[in-house]
Amino acid sequence: MKGNASMKITIKEIAELAGVSVTTVSQILNNKGSRFSEQTRKKVLSIVEEYHYKPDFFAANLINRHSKTIGMIVPDVTDFFFSKIIEGVESYLNPLGYMIILCNSRHDKEQEIRYLNELSHRSVDGILLATPNQLSPEQSLESDFYRDRPIVLIDRGLNERDWGQLLVEEYAGAQEVVRMLVNNGHRHIGMLKENEGYYQLSERVNAYRQVVFEYQLPFNESYISTGDLTIAGGYKAAKELLKNEQITAVFCGNDEMAIGCYQAIYESGRKIPDDISVVGFDGLEVSQYMVPPLTTVFQPSFEIGFSAAKFLVDAINFPSQRIPNKIFQTKLIIRESVKKKVEA
């Protein structure tokens, strides 16, 4: 048999060739072989490579009823925030041998429901659902819809439950960045927020309003402009906001909107931060490469995805255990997009 790489080899035959047990081979292939020597691992993996061994997931599925496949639905795969969440999910799942079926709902509730139905018929072991929507009654977490597989929601706590909540302290983070603008002498502070029906960032808006109230800052509804949570959305919303020439600082609902806001300010002939200060929210990697680098609130989107995947795998392997909650802290990152406002 040796040298005939075209033959389909079994784990039992790999074990015989390597002179180890079937359990040893299985653990090494499942990345659980840390207790074995490097020599043993290399021996097993070289045989695996020589014979192009691939685990037969279909056969394994018949035995353990696990397909090693996870369904994931996100509202927008092009959104930098969700890209980072997906990266975190993959980072946890890939070493465990899981594949992801990724679905893009485009913020459409009906499309989300269709994907959930499709995934439920494709033998996925579990579902990660990032949703801006309230689940419909037939899809509530207590319904029969999910009885055959666990689900973990990434929904900013929109759907009430006392387990499996992945919550970011957005309110505190948004308060901190707006207070920082006030402490730098800004009183006329505008905000770019998301359109109604988009992924809801109400905590950020509420925090902004609270700081405006707390410091009794000048305010009218023209100080808030709405748009999609995208670069183009931020650009359009900023064009509208900048009609109010009293505004000296802008709190953008997310970093993507801030990129669009930068362009609108540039086109208006003003400079950041000399004429107007800008802050964002998310702490995207791109924010440090903006000109000037953006002051923003970092939220750990990669860790949110990583934790969501861990919660789901734990729920698959230990179905009787309750899925825990987890709270993530934010961090204010001070860069060069804010200037102290000196009253004339």
Q: What is the pLDDT along the chain (344 residues), one digit of tens a residue?
A: 444 544 578 888 888 999 998 888 878 877 666 678 888 888 988 898 888 777 655 455 544 567 799 999 999 999 999 999 999 999 999 999 999 999 999 988 899 989 988 888 888 999 999 998 888 776 666 666 666 789 999 998 888 888 999 999 999 999 999 999 999 999 999 999 998 766 668 899 999 999 999 999 999 999 999 999 999 999 999 999 999 999 999 999 999 999 999 999 999 999 999 999 999 999 999 999 999 999 999 999 999 999 999 999 999 999 889 999 999 999 999 999 999 987 65
Same domain, 145 and 202: no
The C-alpha angle 100, 119, 73, rounded to 5 degrees, equals 60
- Residue where a domain terminates, one of 30, 45, 63: 63
- CA distances to 76, 285, 316 from 72, rounded to whole Å, are 12, 23, 15
* 148 domain residue, yes or no: yes
* 74: in domain: yes
Same domain, 162 and 311: yes
pLDDT of res. 60 = 52
Residue 315 in any domain: the answer is yes
Give CA–CA dist 235/95, Å, rounded: 40
Which range of residues forms the domain containing residue 307? 67-169+301-329
Same-domain pairing of 323 and 258: no
Instruction: Measure CA 313 to chain center.
Output: 17
One domain for residues 226 and 290? yes
| pLDDT attached to residue 146 | 65
Helices marked H in the chain — which ranges? 11-18, 22-29, 38-50, 57-64, 80-93, 109-120, 170-183, 202-214, 231-241, 255-267, 301-317
Judge whether 100 lies within some domain: yes
User: Do 157 and 56 lie in a common domain?
Assistant: no
Tell me the pTM.
0.79
Q: Is residue 45 part of a domain?
A: yes
| 312 and 285 assigned to the same domain | no
Say how many domains are in the chain: 3
CATH assignment of the domain containing 24: 1.10.260.40
Same domain, 88 and 117: yes
The DSSP symbol for 326 reads E
177/322 same-domain check: no
User: Packing angle between helix 38-50 and helix 11-18, nearest 10 degrees?
Assistant: 130
| Calpha distance 286→268 (Å, rounded) | 23
Nearest to 197 by CA among 91, 108, 257: 108
Q: Is residue 222 part of a domain?
A: yes
Whether residue 122 is contained in a domain is answered as: yes
Residue type, 321: Q
Q: Is residue 97 part of a domain?
A: yes
The candidate with the shortest Cα–Cα distance to 167, out of 314, 307, 313, 315, is 307
Residues 181 and 113 in one domain: no
Domain containing residue 104: CATH number: 3.40.50.2300
Same domain for 48 and 129, yes or no, is no
Q: Are residues 293 and 323 in the same domain?
A: no
CA nearest to 250, candidates 173, 330, 316, 337? 337
The b/e string for 95-124 (b: 16+ C-beta within 10 A; e otherwise) is: eeebebebbbbebebeebbebbeebbeeeb
**Residue 52, pLDDT score:** 79
Please state whether beta strands 224-227 and 189-194 pair in parallel, antiparallel, or not at all (unpaired): parallel
Are 43 and 116 in the same domain? no
